[in-house]
């Protein structure tokens, strides 16, 4: 066999897969590594992830495949929940257990009243300075690249919102907390700031993302489970229960049922006039007569519907079917 034919034999047959996978990311791998491994297992032609998890962190990482990649932006702006273990008395360069200890400090006696008062001060709108070990860029270069070279640059504080902060356990030099927060919140920084407010230093010993809005309470799947499925049910052409439909990213929006002609016109990007299916004003989810999700539309309250974002392949230039 020639080298060219050998390469062709090894070439993967990528498939068009549309949907969302709520991956339970394992510790020790980057979010992109987890995405690419899942993508290879599914042979998915196109994929992306919504919200990066640090390598040491575990938990929910939404993976978007095919048409669902268009929903990544909406998921990135969602609220998230975490469970974290803060180790008091030592700080690391990365702010978590993967880093090198750069400072140590005595841990004062921490009464329940002190813990309650300090944690209450981190609830609501707070200011955070992003860490050097982050994907934020300065002059086109990620900050973590500069940090690895020992460089420090100034970072502007950003406002984030902590909707819920609960102390689960306080034992010796460790605190376990549960956090519900807005996008852009660095739990590593929150842990360091809490330790500082308690009169010491600290870093995250563990971090687990519990959910990403709107998937609170939804079951997750591991890479091992995906691998097992591809070797059994997947080989038989079954649809995995953990591949969620694209419209699950927009559960709070009203649903619009369109007829066949309206569906065709919408796929072509046309404005629908005097549409009786319009529920009112604002965004809505549009479906064709077979119940297939077409995309997000904007309703003006007078029956006029315009396309906001289509989630169907080949949209925008489809020709009417010949009869």
Q: Mind telling me the catalytic residues?
A: 54
**What is the biggest distance separating any 2 CA atoms in the chain, rounded to whole angstroms?**
81
Strands 58-65 vs 202-212: parallel, antiparallel or unpaired: parallel
CB 260 within 8 A of CB 275: no
Residue closest to 281 by CA, chosen among 304, 265, 310, 311: 304
Count, residues in the chain:
323
Residue closest to 68 by CA, chosen among 298, 296, 307: 296
CB 187 within 8 A of CB 134: no
- Residues 298, 304: Cα–Cα separation, whole Å: 8
Torsions phi, psi for 98 (to 5 deg): -80, -10
249 HSE (CA, 13 A, CB side): 29
């Amino acid at each position: 066999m020639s080298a060219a034919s050998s390469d062709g034999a090894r070439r993967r047959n990528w498939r068009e897969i549309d949907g969302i996978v709520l991956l339970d990311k394992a510790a020790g791998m980057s979010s992109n590594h987890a995405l690419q491994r899942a993508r290879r297992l599914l042979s998915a032609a196109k994929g992306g992830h919504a919200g990066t998890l640090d390598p040491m962190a575990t938990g929910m990482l939404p993976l978007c495949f095919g048409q669902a990649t268009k929903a990544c932006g909406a998921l990135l702006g969602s609220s998230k929940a975490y469970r974290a273990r803060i180790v008091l008395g030592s700080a690391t360069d990365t702010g978590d257990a993967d880093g090198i200890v750069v400072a140590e400090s005595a841990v004062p006696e921490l009464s329940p009243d002190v813990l309650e008062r300090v944690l209450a001060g981190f609830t609501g709108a707070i200011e955070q300075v992003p860490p050097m070990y982050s994907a934020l860029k300065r002059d086109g270069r990620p900050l973590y690249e500069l940090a690895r070279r020992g460089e420090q640059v100034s970072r502007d504080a950003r406002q984030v919102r902590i909707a819920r902060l609960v102390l689960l356990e306080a034992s010796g030099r460790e605190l376990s907390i549960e956090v519900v927060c807005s996008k852009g919140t660095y739990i590593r920084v929150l842990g360091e700031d809490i330790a500082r407010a308690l009169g010491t230093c600290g870093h995250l010993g563990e971090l687990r993302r519990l959910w990403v809005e709107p998937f609170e309470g939804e079951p997750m799947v591991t890479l091992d489970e995906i691998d097992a499925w591809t070797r059994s049910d997947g080989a038989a052409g079954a649809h995995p229960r953990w591949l969620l439909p694209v419209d699950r990213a927009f559960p709070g929006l009203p649903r619009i049922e369109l007829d066949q002609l309206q569906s065709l016109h919408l796929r072509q990007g046309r404005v629908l006039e005097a549409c009786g299916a319009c529920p009112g004003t604002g965004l809505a989810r549009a479906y064709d007569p077979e119940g297939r999700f077409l995309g997000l539309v904007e309703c003006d309250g007078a029956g006029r519907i315009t396309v906001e974002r289509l989630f169907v392949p080949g949209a925008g230039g489809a020709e009417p079917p010949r009869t």
